Amino acid sequence: MKIEINLPTRLPFLMIEAPLPSGGEVISEDPRQNNLAENEADLEGDWGSFWWTHQDILDDKILFFVSSLPSGKSHTYSLVRMELPGELQVTPVQLEGMYSKNLRAYSSLDTVKVKD
């Protein structure tokens, strides 16, 4: 699962909620162990460290907490194993301000086809 955020300006104190598809299990909590990125800069961002300050992996979603996210593109990868075959709808990723109820953004709805 790849999460990409494109901001027009720097935003402070954000929470990003990335729901997992039904039947999806996160393989590793450390994205460096997933080996999905082409290079370390894809994981770390242009400024040299992970863009989130804390992440929680729950049964149905991954939460990222960010103290400051710079303008431009930021992305990360999570290795998710799908355990149920079928066509699944993926709930949109949600970005919201931790201390501002007026700051909220959503990704588009997507589908995933899982084959046996």
Q: Write out pLDDT tens, residues 32-52.
A: 554 444 555 544 444 345 677
- Residue 91 tokens read as 């709930």
Q: In degrees, to the nearest 5, what angle opens at C-alpha 96 toward C-alphas 47 and 34?
A: 50
pLDDT-derived band at 30, boundaries 50, 70, 90: low
Model pTM above 0.85: no
Residue 95 is predicted with a pLDDT of 95
Residue 50 is predicted with a pLDDT of 65
CB within 8 Å of 40: residues ≥ 6 apart: 32
Beta strand 24-26 with 11-19 is unpaired
Grouping H, G, I as helix, E, B as strand and the rest as coil, residue 97 is strand
Share of the chain above pLDDT 90, in %: 40
Pick the closest to residue 17 from 73, 93, 77 (CA basis).
93
